[in-house]
Structure 1
Amino acid sequence: MNRNILRAIHFTAVCTATALIAAFWSSTVISELFLPHHAVALLKQSIAYGMILLVISMAATGATGMKMGGKSKHARIAAKRKRMPVIAANGLLILIPCALFLNMRAAAGRFDTIFYTVQAIELLAGAVNFTLMALSMRDGRAIRRPKK
């Protein structure tokens, strides 16, 4: 595949994934603080469905990043390469199960201590993933920036 096309796919996937993480996180905080339970339940359902797009964009990010980075020893590429498994594991082992659990709990109207504990875990894991994605975006931009 042409390197420019690969770069465009990577950029689009990274931006999509990061925007989704930010949207899920911020909409959760806003809905929990200011909206009634039925709105929170609707948001949790939307996030559960939105996870499909997030998983696709994260997979595309990882695949295109690995293809472009190859076996490079560049420090920033190595840092990005180390972050990706953490981001993926966090998403697969924490964020997806939390999103599905919270969706089921909210749909049943069970806004209890368990719900809010899992919600706190999800918010923390989402903040970690957003931070790691932002760091990788910063490193990606630095790699592309011409040296002075």
Structure 2
Amino acid sequence: MIKIIHSVAGAFALVTIATFWLSTALSELFASQAAVVAVKTAIPWGFLILIPTLAATGGSGFALAGGRPAGLASAKVKRMPLIAANGILILIPAALFLAFKARAAKFDTVFYAVQALELAAGAANITLLGLNMRDGLKMKGRLRRRPA
């Protein structure tokens, strides 16, 4: 059961973060200011789903890894603090700040600088979570390992 929770929660977290990232990028590039405001104010509400999902992924992952993870499990465990720190220290504060600025229709240089930081940090988390998913699929035998 814990394997299913880990797989589903991990995939859901990755898809959620990718959705936040794509929604932001597409609205900024192609949509109206009203659409940007809608996206930026909706993302913090998504944290109500994302944060418990990430917690379930991390907790179930540590339980599956056991006391001394080795190999791919060790690599996955080492990435988790980076993912968490990036989210807690950059992504959540940036999203809350951008939602506040967007609601006030203050699309100034600071808004776009924080937006660029958020997109870069989001891309980093998508990459790290994608690497964890890839390693998990390799561990399950659902993805071939490259010959050495």
- TM-score, normalised to structure 2's length? 0.93
Residue aligning to 1:109: 105
Letter in 1 for 2:33: H
- Calculate the aligned-residue CA RMSD, in Å: 1.4
Task: Please list the CA deviations of residues 6-48 of structure 1 after superposition, one character each: whole Å capped at 9, or x if unmatched.
Answer: 0111111101100011100011010001111111111111111
Paired-residue identity, %: 48
Q: Which runs of 5+ in 2 are unaligned?
A: none
Residue of structure 2 aligned with 1:63, choices 49, 52, 59 = 59
Residue of structure 1 aligned with 2:122, choices 120, 123, 126 = 126
Residue aligning to 2:10: 14
2:31 counterpart of 1:39: no
| Alignment length (residue pairs) | 144
Letter in 1 for 2:25: V
Q: Which runs of 5+ in 1 are unaligned?
A: none
Cα shift at 1:106: 0.1
Cα shift at 1:55: 0.8
Distance 1:53 1:94 in 2: 18
Cα shift at 1:110: 0.3
Residue aligning to 2:136: 140
Distance 1:35 1:70 in 2: 47
Deviating beyond 4 angstroms after TM superposition, the runs of 4 or more aligned structure 1 residues are: none
Cα shift at 1:74: 2.2
